[in-house]
Structure 1
């Protein structure tokens, strides 16, 4: 899951057969726990955002920065994995990344302001960028070739279970303790994983080099992506393009990203190998992956927020209502891996997107009286689409790459997918707030404040108190306005899932990734 030309090189552990840790089970446990911890942190904060924003005095839009800062920093760090691996080795990189993740998690828990928390989350996302690809490479290297399929299946199961556990665990911790502990729980897990893996893999052969670093490409990437994400996060609070800050950030992002694309296409050793988009299946599959994952990421962020803000759920019950989305992926993923290749993968992916579109359209008809069972059943049904989504689309996008391009292609797809999710989170929360405000204005237009009948009605709502009745009515209107905005967004998400089907069918069979050691190092 590494990036660029450096990343196309197979992990050093795969080229040095014969190494076995003293206790393979213990080493596997350490690696699996680190992966679980990292993936868990992509979702564990979702249900805690209302508590975090309330405790730190941030707005709803500012609370979203807790998610987006992690995701965008994680994406920026991904292209560095290949260079860091060749320079320092997988074992040391894993240990340092894990311990740095522990330190960043501690800073998150100790944050006394929204600004400090967002900075700590950005640091947390950046240092854990190499963790998943390096964990994958290390896990493959300690198993013989005939058992590597089982190792990958274990890692895939961890990455499926962690997002399910995130909302439930985050909700339970927030309700019973405080939101800080969703970060503090990483401390013992991270230390255990780092120490165990460091000891178990001591003496593992690795080939170290002094590779060239594309510093200009990296600087342009950080500047362009960073400015774009800050612009999206600040836009609503700064009144968008009426603000000089937003205009300046937009100009910086546009110029940096245009120059970045030109530089990466012309540099001999780019940090992000954009030339891979010359392959038809890679281009079509990656576009489908980014659009579908962005919509999926928006669902995962919006549903827990809606359950708490509109329906009054506690964090733990919002987690329980959201969690069924992971049940079917856990049960079906092994079978999808075994049997999906027997069918046209475009059909399998299309079924996935139809299922995800249907669930979005179902949510677009939710109201403030919807019960827990219906919310959970829709989440469960979306899990069917999720189970059929990742493997077919990833296989399609890797299918026409050369063996030496597999790892870089997987990393590039993961890079843009992660960025897409981050940008989608900012846009979704902005649109929800914006549409809620529009509908609030429309609903209040029909209220004639001086009408005696209206005054009487409002007084009755307040139990005889006009002021209390006005407060209750305002709250009812706000909830209804946000509900209409929620429904509109999910209608749009349903349309996006349908449109993605068209991109999948631009790909052409056969959909079988070419062999080679690099393929074993691919992403997830």
Structure 2
């Protein structure tokens, strides 16, 4: 695994196809784990005895760990070699998947999900790098197309697989299924991809910047996850976490802007096009990802859906995205990307407004249709936004800008999920109190007594009804706010200039 790719015979024929399949499968496995747990949170919560809001830690911990590790990818590959880093990353991902499946407490599961994220973070960009190295120039476009399909298809299958496995077997198997895949990918990388190893060097890493980044991100995420249960800023622990997050962020910014080799190159924010595009991306993706977490929980906890059917309902988003992706890719070369992004985000806002009409009596297709419609707008949002952001920076800054985009997008998803689930739960509490105050309990009791219900049964029916309606109201409130945020994200994109240059294939990662 130490030789340089250019010193060895390039792969060809069936071996090349197998090597490409190994890399694409690895990427598929890592991306799949970002959504496979979304519909399994109620199962995990019931098994471990935790609340739904605590269950979201399983999702956010993976996303944050993955985001933190992305900026280190370049240093890891340069210090230890691209193939070696890739191989050990897959091994670590497989080991932590085993430990996730064996977890018996929330603390253990969250810790192992963090391990999964740290190992999986570099695998997505490294798999793309290795594909570009093993395929000849005339076949790279096709290879990247296959790789991109795994990135799009994995989030579709994640909820479906997660729901089916949780209902049919056990939630533990949503992690155990990674074991044979990881083993196959490790074997394939050693036997087929090792010739694409890159030279190594004793590279310096920005240790102070790394520690500061871990400090403020960790404090911020813990504050967001624990805030609701600790009554936010009425609790001393939350106040201290907030102070650490703010001070840590300020020191981190000051350090990175003056460091010669920063772990995160913040200087790319001097380009207005990149800055505005990333702000739009962060707000829109945070809102989109939050809905992908809240909807399955609502369907299962309030609407009586199994995890399997909740997965089917949410997966329609990805189906439409797959259909539209090649069309949008062609349009991106002919139409102002700002217009495409604005249309795409406004379309997502329109899908959110459709959800505002949801109620506790909605049938499957009333719930699935907005998901499908949302999928049509997603490629208009993601693909041209990458062109806008990376086309605004200098060519030698593309890698740094792409890494920063990936980092901020993933962090936005995690932070947005924490904030939105807290708002969702708080809104349900308010709605529950208002309904209880207005409920004519005497009339309800008389009506149910006439039907033969006992007093205990009547209380149970009323409590369940109020709870169900309260979460339905809270869900519509969240989507009304989502539509507003999407509208803001769509409008600010016009503050960006048209991209100065074309962005090469695969630059986004």
Residue number among 474, 498, 501 corresponding to 1:485 in the alignment: 474
Structure 1 contact 400–513 (Cα < 8 Å) conserved: no
CA deviation vs aligned residue, 1:62-90 (integer Å, no higher than 9, x gap): 10000000000111111110110100111
Question: What is the RMSD computed on CA atoms of the aligned residues?
Answer: 1.7
- Residue 246 (structure 1) aligns with: 238
Q: TM-score, normalised by structure 2?
A: 0.96
- Given the superposition, is the C-alpha separation of residues 427 and 15 from structure 1 closer, same or farther in structure 2, using an over 3 Å criterion? farther
Alignment of 1:228-267 (within 5 A): 228-267=220-259
Distance (whole Å) between structure 1 residues aligned to residue 256 and residue 424 of structure 2: 36
TM-fit CA distance, 1:522: 2.4
User: Pick from 58, 65, 73: which aligns with 1:81?
Assistant: 73
Q: Which has the higher contact order (CA 8 A, sep 6+)?
A: 1
Find the counterpart in structure 2 of residue 459 from structure 1: 449
Q: In structure 2, what is the equivalent of residue 395 of structure 1?
A: 387
Number of residue pairs matched by the alignment: 506
1:105-504 equivalences in 2 (<5 Å) = 105-447=97-439, 451=442, 453=443, 455-457=445-447, 459-460=449-450, 463-504=452-493
Q: Do 1:53 and 1:63's aligned partners in 2 also have CA atoms closer than 8 Å?
A: yes
Displacement of 1:335 in angstroms is: 2.3
Structure 1 residue ranges (4+ consecutive) displaced by more than 3 angstroms after TM superposition: 12-19, 457-461, 510-514
Please tell me whether residue 508 in structure 1 is matched to residue 497 in structure 2.
yes
C-alpha separation in 2, matches of 1:464 and 1:273: 66
Q: Please state how far the C-alpha of 1:392 moved relative to its aligned partner.
A: 0.4
Q: Is the contact between residue 458 and residue 473 of structure 1 (CA under 8 Å) also seen in structure 2? A: no
Contact 1:407 1:521 in 2 (8 A): no
CA deviations on 1:421-450 (whole Å, 9 max, x unpaired) are 00011111111110000111111112466x
The answer to whether the Cα contact below 8 Å between 2:445 and 2:458 also exists between their aligned partners in 1 is no
* TM-score of the superposed pair, with normalisation by structure 1: 0.94
Contact persistence 2:8–2:195 (CA under 8 A): no
Question: Could you tell me how far apart the structure 2 residues matched to 1:67 and 1:231 are?
Answer: 16
Encode CA deviations 1:387-446: one digit per residue, 9 max, x unaligned.
211110011001121111111101101101100000011111111110000111111112
Structure 1 pair 361–14 and aligned structure 2 pair: CA distance change class (3 A): farther
Shift of residue 210 of structure 1?
1.1
In structure 2, how many angstroms separate the alpha carbons of the residues matched to 1:312 and 1:406? 47
1:155 Cα shift? Answer: 1.0
Distance 1:301 1:16 in 2: 47
- Give the aligned partner of residue 19 of structure 1: 10
Q: Which segments of 5 or more consecutive residues in structure 2 lack a partner in the other structure?
A: none
